[in-house]
Chains A and B, each alone.
Chain A
Amino acid sequence: MEKKIKKLKFSEKLPVILELLQKIEFLIEDEKTGISEIAKLIEKDPSLTTKFLKLANSPFYGFPKRITSVKTALNFLGVNIVKILLIVNNFLELSSKDDFLIWEHLVGVGMVSQLLAKKLNFEDSSTFYTLGLVHDIGLIVEKLSFPEEFEKIREKIKEGKSLIKIEEEFFKFNHSELGAYLMESWNFPAKLVEPILAHHDLKKAKRYLKESAILYLADLLVWAKGIGEDLLFKRDKVDSEIFSLLSLNFSEIKEIFRKMDLFTVEIRTFLNSVLY
């Protein structure tokens, strides 16, 4: 799989962020430099800083106070989440209002993952929101790097085939594999890679089955509710164990739909402030 992905030529728009990520990596390795050095590095670019802070103040992180500096964000969210937000910001910049539904899906999945994580008493529910934002990164990379194929994929979906099957026909891999591969190449820990790999196939989860199941279910519920209503996200089957795995009953699922309904307005308002 890795070889297949390596052979591809990705759009040259992608590496924009890589330099910054590498510098951050470098600073993390040098143990003497702490969070303030990383903050300084990001703050060198005022426009990046503004956009980054907008993301760090996403409605669903739910911090009691507004995050007003990169350093506070690093303290609250940790380096890994900050790195993901920089990547997300990069992809947001490469997107336009035409991609609204894709981003509505991503933010929706983040919101619902976080709800589920809280319900299941995970301490780091903000990690789950962030995972949601980045979980379909493979799909965005496909769209940016292979626009022609991507249009053909959209056509095929209309014929009733699932996205995963079509991707595998076209590229010999699917967007969850591509996403996980990229996350790994950016040095993210397995806890953040595995759920992305398994978000369409729970059998791929090993150490982080519950985390993966949360993302898997959130992805499904967001599509089912009609948030980010795009055929790309249609599901045709679901792991029948999913509810017992997360010990959720149907009335709890209904409660989650109720919350999703209430917060759709916040997702939309937020997206209108970050997508141009």
Chain B
Amino acid sequence: MQRLPLSYIKPGMKTFEEVVDANGRVLCGKGIELTEEHIKRFYELGVNFVTVEGHPVNLPWEKTLEEELQALNKRFEGIKDPTLLEIKKILEEFFKEKYQEP
């Protein structure tokens, strides 16, 4: 799943969760393939973000798995605290899972 600003949303993407407007009204269900029509309506009703299935867009700051793990190692450089190292392990698991997703 990926959360995207409306400007990145294209017809054919599938919603991962309900889309609601600023007043909490449900505009579109979950698992729906979006059409031009939907997107136009989202603009009109002030929707800013939509969560869609998969990972259709590479946002400018997003790293590859390798870069992500490299940055993680650099952040934790010199750290010996066992609890912090546990947290690092959780993050490694998280990143590996994230990049395995279709």
Contact = CB atoms under 8 A, between A and B. Distances in A.
Given A238-B81, A240-B82, A262-B3, A223 B75 contact: yes
A220 interface: yes
Q: In terms of DSSP, what is the predominant structure of the interface of chain B?
A: mixed
Given A223-B75, A236-B81, A254-B93, A64 B87 contact: no
B24 interface: yes
A57 to B, nearest CB: 9
A238 B94 contact: no
B2 interface: yes
Contact of B1 (A66, A224, A236, A262): A262
A257 interface: yes
Interface in A222-263: 223-226, 229, 234-240, 242-243, 250, 253-254, 257-258, 261-263
Nearest to A65: B23
A144 to B, nearest CB: 26
Which residue among B1, B22, B90 has the maximum number of chain A CB atoms within 10 Å of its CB?
B90
Contacts of A220: 87
B81 A268 contact: no
A47 interface: no
A224 B79 CA distance: 12
B59 A225 contact: no
Contact of B87 (A59, A221, A229, A236): A221
Contact of A235 (B46, B84, B86): B84
Interface in A95-128: none
Interface bracket on A:
20 to 34
B81 A237 contact: yes
B3 A226 contact: no
A236 B49 contact: no
Interface size class of B (residues with CB under 8 A): 20 to 34
Nearest to B98: A261
B67 to A, nearest CB: 10
Nearest to A57: B22
A269 interface: yes
A239 B1 CA distance: 33
Contact of A262 (B51, B68, B75, B79): B51
Contact of B71 (A65, A229, A238, A264): A229
Given A235-B79, A265-B59, 15 more contacts: A64-B23, A64-B24, A223-B75, A224-B75, A236-B79, A238-B84, A240-B83, A254-B93, A257-B90, A257-B91, A261-B94, A265-B3, A265-B4, A265-B49, A266-B3
